[in-house]
A = this chain, B = another copy of it.
Amino acid sequence: MEGAETMSKYCFGIDIGGTSIKCGLFNIEGELLEKWEIPTNRDNHGEAVPQDVADTILDKIKEKALNKDEIAGVGIGIPGPVNKEGVVLKCANLGWGILDVAKKMEALIGLKVFAANDANVAALGEMWQGGAKGYSDVVMVTLGTGVGGGVIINGKIHTGSNGGAGEIGHITVNTNETAMCGCGNKGHLEQYASATGVVRLAKKIMEEEKIESVLNSVENLTAKDVFDAAKAEDKLALDIVETFGRYLGIGLSHVAATVDPEVFVIGGGMAKAGDIILQAVEKNYNENILNALKDKPFRMATLGNDAGIYGCAKLVLTSLVS
C-alpha cells in the first residue's frame, strides 16, 4: 500500500437510505463520474446491506476496469448516529444496532472505508461542491420528513462526543407545546419545520384564525400547498410561513450562539419552496440573535439528493490530507 495514496484517482460515495442506496463514483478532483442506485434490503435488520454495498462497488470496479490501487476509498452515509471513530451507534431505519460499519465494509471490499451520519455528510457535500462552496465553517439544516442537521468545523464534520452534534431538529423551540415530537419530547423544532410539522402548524393556525384562504378547500394538505399559497400572498398561508420561519429562525439562532458558523445552508425536499423559506428564516434569525452574530448568509442547498454521495466522497478525500 505504500505510496498508494499518491496514485489515487477515484473514490466512491455511498449514501444509505431507508428505501434506496445512492452510489457515486468520483474522481479526486470532485467530479461525479457516474451515479446509480440499488434498493435497500431491510429484511432481518438490514443484515444484507453491507454485502449489497460491497457487491455494487466491486461490480463497478470490474465494469470500469479500475485498479484498486487507484481508488482512495469509500465513504458511507448512514441514517443514524455515528461516532467519531465511524462506529454506527444505532440505526433504527435499517434495523442495525452498534456496528463498526467501516471495519466490516473494509473486510468485504478491500478498500479503506469511512462512515458518518447522512445529515452530516450532506452538509459536507454542500460545503465541498454545493451551496456553501468556499466556506469551511458551515451549518446545514435539512427540511424533509424530519429536520436534520450537520455542523462542519474547519472543513470537517463535527460529530460530537457521541454522534449527537447537529441534531438541530431536536432543539426545543416551544416550551408551551403539548403535542409530542417523534423522539418523545415536546416542542422540538422538527414539530414545526418538517413537512409534517408545517401541515400540523397549518391546521392549527387555520383552526385558530378561521379566515378565508385557498387552503381551506385543499384536501390532504401538504407543505407545498402552504408555500405555494403564501407565494400567491394568501394571508393565512403567509401567517403559517411566518410561524414556521420564527421557529426555524430561533432554532438556528441557538446554533449560531453555540458554534458561530460562516454560513447556513438550507436543504431537503421542502427547501424546493425556495426564497420564501430563506426570507422567513433569515428575518426571524436576525430578530433573535446577538448583534455580533447577525446578518450571516443563508444559502439554498444546490446538490439536492446528491449531497450525500458528494459528502461521502469528500469524507474519503479529507482523510488523505489530514
Contact = CB atoms under 8 A, between A and B. Distances in A.
Contact of A172 (B81, B158, B163, B250): B250
A161 B183 contact: no
A contact face: mostly helix, strand, loop, or mixed: loop
Given A161-B137, A164-B293, A172-B250, A259 B258 contact: yes
A258 B166 contact: yes
Nearest to A159: B260
Nearest to A175: B250
B161 A261 contact: yes
A151 interface: yes
| Interface residue range, chain A | 35 or more
Contact of A170 (B137, B167, B290): B290
Contact of A260 (B163, B171, B254, B260): B163
B293 A254 contact: no
A120 to B, nearest CB: 11
A183 B293 CA distance: 12
Contacts of A288: 172, 185, 187
Given A255-B258, A260-B159, A261-B161, A183 B291 contact: yes
Nearest to A83: B260
A260 B164 contact: yes
Interface string A158-189: 11111111111011101100000001110110
Q: Which of A137, A183, A257, A288 has the most CB of B within 10 A?
A: A257
Interface string A272-301: 000000000000000111111100000000
B256 A164 contact: yes
A2 B64 CA distance: 51
A54 interface: no
Contact of A258 (B159, B161, B187, B258): B258
A136 to B, nearest CB: 9
A261 B162 CA distance: 8
Shortest 5 CB-CB contacts between residues of A and residues of B: A160-B260, A254-B254, A164-B260, A170-B290, A165-B260
Interface of A: 81, 89, 137, 151, 153, 158-168, 170-172, 174-175, 183-185, 187-188, 246, 250, 253-262, 287-293
Given A175-B250, A185-B290, A254-B254, 6 more contacts: A151-B259, A153-B153, A160-B259, A160-B261, A164-B290, A167-B290
